[in-house]
Amino acid sequence: MEITTLIENSKEDESSALLPEHGVSLFFRASKHTILFDTGKSDRFLKNAQNLGIHISDVDILVVSHSHYDHGGGLKVFFQENNQAKVYLKEEAFSDYYSKRGLSKKYIGLDHALIDMYPDRFFLIKDDLEIDDGIFILSDIVDTHTRPSGNSFLFERSDGKLIRDRFLHELILVIREDNGMVVFTGCSHRGILNMIETVENKFNNPTIKAVLGGFHLMNPIKNRMSETEDVVRNIGRTLLQKKNLKMVYSGHCTGKEAYSLLKAEMKDKLDRFSTGKVIRA
């Protein structure tokens, strides 16, 4: 599988015309489908695709990992460019989600008007789903391991009140091929170890060729690591010990400091993904 990074916070080649932004968007083909995973927060995913000769109009499956603006903010632009793809999200996708620090509150969810404008394009998921042969969305994520502490700033509106975000709107995309699986985790708000364990449980400890996603180990407001060094290193050691996990690609909300600690533990088993990077898994 060849996966092209349309959007990430940084870019692979600083001299290129590609436009990075805080967000994630990944393009690839699997079996007989052309798939987009997340859209970033603006129209930049489309501009980068055009620059790379990728036709977003050909996409027939869009999966949105969770309902934050930096992963689904480009939805309106996507619909303007693409008139065919089904868009898969959790059924909680169009609830209200906020970032809150002290008295300051910011809406970070999706544009609610889109579901009224394009009602036939959305497929809202409650349970685990096999979209087609070898393309799975996992909804029921285990809670064996601690979730990222950075989630403490993230809220949802429930029964008219703000409560800590339970991340019921987060999902995992899994692509099964003959020689193993590729796992896409978005921001891993439920915890990267929980998400990988969910895949292991669902498919009876399969070979996982690659995992791609951010791990939410950075506080974007203060631009520093949100976990202790011990916590981050333990994540790296735990991932390294998983013999059926061949490669991990991380970026976005993992943060540079946490990535360096993970790299020190995982060595060649960890690499970055950044805008313009092509990954062959």
Please name each of the domains of the chain with its CATH number.
2-280 (3.60.15.10)
Amino acid at 147: R
d(CA 244, CA 151): 29
d(CA 61, CA 115): 17
Q: Which parts of 9-148 are beta strand (E)?
A: 25-30, 33-37, 61-63, 86-90, 97-101, 104-107, 122-125, 129-132, 135-138
Q: What is the pLDDT along the chain (281 residues), one digit of tens a residue?
A: 999 999 999 999 999 999 999 999 999 999 899 999 999 999 999 999 999 999 999 999 999 999 999 999 999 999 999 999 999 999 999 999 999 988 889 999 999 999 999 999 999 999 999 999 999 999 999 999 999 999 999 999 999 999 999 999 999 999 999 999 999 999 999 999 999 999 999 999 999 999 999 999 998 766 789 999 999 999 999 999 999 999 999 999 999 999 999 999 999 999 999 999 999 99
192-202 vs 229-241: helix crossing angle, rounded to 10: 20
In this prediction, residue 103 carries a pLDDT of 81
Q: For residue 7, what is the enclosing H or E element?
A: strand 2-7
In this prediction, residue 19 carries a pLDDT of 98
d(CA 17, CA 190): 34
Exposed (0-12), middle (13-18) or buried (19+): which is 74, by Cβ within 10 Å? buried
Taking the CA atoms of residue 243, residue 248, residue 254 and residue 257 in that order, the dihedral angle to the nearest 10 degrees is 80
d(CA 70, CA 4): 18
d(CA 187, CA 216): 6
253, 215 Cβ separation under 8 angstroms: yes
d(CA 244, CA 275): 27
